[in-house]
Amino acid sequence: MTLAEKILARASGYDRVSPEQIVIARVDLAMSHENADLVRKSFLEIGVGRVWDPSKIVIIFDHRVPAESEKTATTHQAIREFVAAQGIEHFYDVGRGGICHQVLPENGHVRPGMLIVGTDSHTTTHGAFGAFATGIGATEMAGVWTEGTLWFKVPSTLRIEVEGELRPWISAKDLILHLIGRLGAAGADYRAVEFDGPAIRRMSVASRMVLTNLAMEMGAKVAFTPVDEILLDYLRPRVPEKLATIAPDADARYERVIRMDAGEDLAEPVIACPHSVDRVKPLSAVGEVPVHQAVLGSCTNGRLEDLEVAARVVAGRSIHPRTRLIVIPASQQVYREAMRLGYLETLVAAGAIINPPGCGPCVGVHQGILAAGETCVSSTNRNFVGRMGSKDSFVYLASPAVVAASAIAGKLAHPEAIVKEAEPCLTEV
């Protein structure tokens, strides 16, 4: 069986399952952010009184933090009261967590082989930890809170094997944008995706999370990277119990196997152009594009390695006068470590502003939304019309290095145009 089939078989009590089969599976972890208020309302309508297992529910404030309106403040208040009344153990309030997909693994909530559901589409991120993790709606989550189970159609699996080595200034973000451009926004619709191969296995856990996060943007139901020593070394200090490993069987059947060479197929950074994530072009093909705002952060690229590369690009330089650089660490833990290592100091000295950990401008609600006619280059995950504010604004998606370089240049720019190769890293991480 594939990874998706193995996990769904275990969770539903079968020896094996096959694509298209419908199963009722036991959920290991249920996550919500502020939309927990919608779940709460549906749950109360069901009328059972108590959630199925308060130790398996995690609620994290991240989309609108701190509250930007009285309406949001009232929503936060209602969720806090519900959490207290239900005895939900794992609640991350403002200033105590960060973006949900960073907080879960940082705090040991995710382990290989788990079945995780979240009321957020980018819950696929947790496939980087060997979990079958997928987004669901608020009414579905109310059912999970009630019974702890949910039905699934077993997905078929695409396997993507990546050979070779990424070139300088090419990152996991470039790799996954390239694949989305190649396969299309519906290229993995309701499929599981397994990323593997030498280039993937050399990646950090943070980079693997970029792949599984953005797999959703080509329609994936779930996505996985390998469960190996790199991952287990990350998890061991965070997870008290013994960790299981999981891998697809050697004779697993795939709908399709896609092979690529990271060095040959990615000669330069790529950009997803407005207004679709699959409208991907090589950076050199985009032309002269002035940039009014650059955003570094989100559940896709707000981790320590992202802040490090951005700090390396801007060190000793100034943000272009027409451009504002907004930096959003993915969590309080990332924020504190980036302060300790000097990354935030370097970014602020260049003219960046540091937002609190959260989603903010990525979902177009506050802390950096765009006016009509403005252009943004962002390390976030979506660039739909109106995604970051005005429907007459333009969002280009790029790697953290390109975002930082563009903030310095005041236009879309390759990092090598800003940084000489001889310049050292600020700090080895």
- Give pLDDT tens digits for 266-309: 999 999 999 999 999 999 999 999 999 999 999 999 999 999 99
pLDDT over 60 (residue 429): no
Tell me what pLDDT residue 362 has.
86
DSSP state of 287: -
Per-residue pLDDT band for 422 (boundaries 50, 70, 90) equals very low
Q: What angle do CA 314, 291, 166 make, to 5 degrees?
A: 55
Ramachandran class of 171: left when φ > 0, alpha when ψ lies in -120 to 50, beta otherwise = beta
Per-residue pLDDT band for 420 (boundaries 50, 70, 90) equals confident
CA 346 distance to own-chain centroid: 25
Tell me what pLDDT residue 421 has.
47
- Give pLDDT tens digits for 364-409: 888 999 999 999 999 999 998 989 999 999 999 999 999 999 999 9
Q: Say if residues 320 and 85 touch (Cβ distance below 8 Å).
A: no
* Interval 206-231 mean pLDDT: 97
Tell me what pLDDT residue 425 has.
45
Position of tokens 């989550």? 141
Give the start-to-end residue ranges of the domains of the chain: 3-261, 272-417
Per-residue pLDDT band for 363 (boundaries 50, 70, 90) equals confident
Nearest to 406 by CA among 394, 395, 418: 418
CA 406 distance to own-chain centroid: 22
Per-residue pLDDT band for 354 (boundaries 50, 70, 90) equals very high
Nearest to 150 by CA among 254, 221, 45: 221
The residue ranking higher by pLDDT, 78 or 422, is: 78
- Give pLDDT tens digits for 303-322: 999 999 999 999 999 999 99
pLDDT over 50 (residue 164): yes
Cα separation, 361 vs 379, whole angstroms: 11
Point out which residues pair with 161 in neighbouring strands: 196, 259
DSSP string, 15-44: S---TT-EEEEE-SEEEESTTHHHHHHHHH
DSSP string, 294-345: EEE-HHHH-SHHHHHHHHHHHTT----TT-EEEE--SBHHHHHHHHHTTHHH
Tell me what pLDDT residue 426 has.
47
Share of the chain above pLDDT 90, in %: 94
- Give pLDDT tens digits for 245-257: 999 999 999 999 9
Whether 3-261 and 272-417 share one fold: the answer is yes
Q: What CATH topology corresponds to 272-417?
A: Aconitase; domain 3 (3.30.499)
Tell me what pLDDT residue 365 has.
86
Tell me what pLDDT residue 424 has.
43
**Coil/strand/helix, residue 429:** coil
355: its two tokens? 């937002």
120: its two tokens? 């957020």
pLDDT over 80 (residue 67): yes
> Exposed, middle or buried by CB within 10 Å (0-12, 13-18, 19+), for 55?
exposed
Cα separation, 222 vs 228, whole angstroms: 19
Share of the chain above pLDDT 70, in %: 98
pTM over 0.85: yes
- Homologous superfamily of the 3-261 domain (CATH): Aconitase, domain 3 (3.30.499.10)
Q: Say if residues 213 and 185 touch (Cβ distance below 8 Å).
A: no
Q: Say if residues 426 and 315 touch (Cβ distance below 8 Å).
A: yes
Nearest to 328 by CA among 291, 300, 302: 302
- Give pLDDT tens digits for 47-58: 999 999 999 999
Q: What angle do CA 111, 223, 10 make, to 5 degrees?
A: 50
DSSP state of 371: P
* Interval 317-333 mean pLDDT: 97
